[in-house]
Chains A and B, each alone.
Chain A
């Protein structure tokens, strides 16, 4: 998985609780991404980062926030989890911007009850 780890790999949480997912890379890539994967929707971009402390919204950013204080770490936070955020979350990295290869982590399965 191209030097990408995600933690936790599985999490069950209750509606209304905050949740933080972590993505860690050892490739020193500048660009990092958070996607969610749901049946019938493929993968959809939540947020991405183009450098330390530089982030932007993706297609489905409502209810999510991100932070990147170091090149190697990209955090995704659900401030108050809802059942609609039950999904599998993938982190991806890329060395260059735009139309170039993205490499994905192993994923985090999140269940909000």
Chain B
């Protein structure tokens, strides 16, 4: 099955700086890559996603890039704010299946 690795496990940045979280996947057939943000005591919330026919996608301060050849994708958060502090999860999925394979999460702390 698919194996998704996520790095780093923890990340601290100063407010206003950028944060980058990276994930790699093993199954070249995976074609959908969502990113979730999870705040303490809550369920994961979808923040951005990308499909394999696209190399980059942006939504305000958040962007995701995908390198299919290298089988890795990254989440970029610019101009970080304290409310960006949370755990972020990447995932990979195939069109033909119903299973998401999640990374182990990155705990992001934005220091005011």
Q: Would you call A99 and B1 a contact (CB within 8 A)?
A: no
Kindly state whether residue A58 has any CB partner on chain B within 8 Å.
yes
A57–chain B nearest beta-carbon distance, Å:
10
Kindly state whether residue B94 has any CB partner on chain A within 8 Å.
yes
Q: Would you call B104 and A41 a contact (CB within 8 A)?
A: yes
Q: Would you call A59 and B98 a contact (CB within 8 A)?
A: no
Query: A interface, how many residues as a size bin?
Result: 20 to 34
Partner-contacting stretch, out of B10-18, B44-52, B61-69, B75-83: B44-52
Q: Of all chain B residues, which has the CB nearest A109?
A: B41
Per-residue A-contact encoding for B1-36, CB less than 8 Å = 1, 0 else: 100101000000000000000000000000110101
Per the CB 8 Å criterion, the residue count for chain B at the interface is 29
Q: Of all chain A residues, which has the CB nearest B93?
A: A99
Q: In the complex where A43-B44, A43-B89 touch, is A102 in contact with B96 (Cβ < 8 A)?
A: no
Kindly state whether residue A44 has any CB partner on chain B within 8 Å.
yes
Which residues from B are CB-within-8-Å of A59?
1, 99
Q: Would you call B34 and A101 a contact (CB within 8 A)?
A: yes
Q: Would you call B97 and A45 a contact (CB within 8 A)?
A: no
Q: Of all chain B residues, which has the CB nearest A107?
A: B43
Residues of B within 8 A of A (CB): 1, 4, 6, 31-32, 34, 36, 41-46, 49, 51, 89, 91, 93-100, 102-105
- 9 A–B contacts from the bound complex (CB under 8 Å): A33-B98, A42-B4, A43-B44, A98-B97, A99-B31, A99-B51, A102-B34, A106-B42, A107-B42
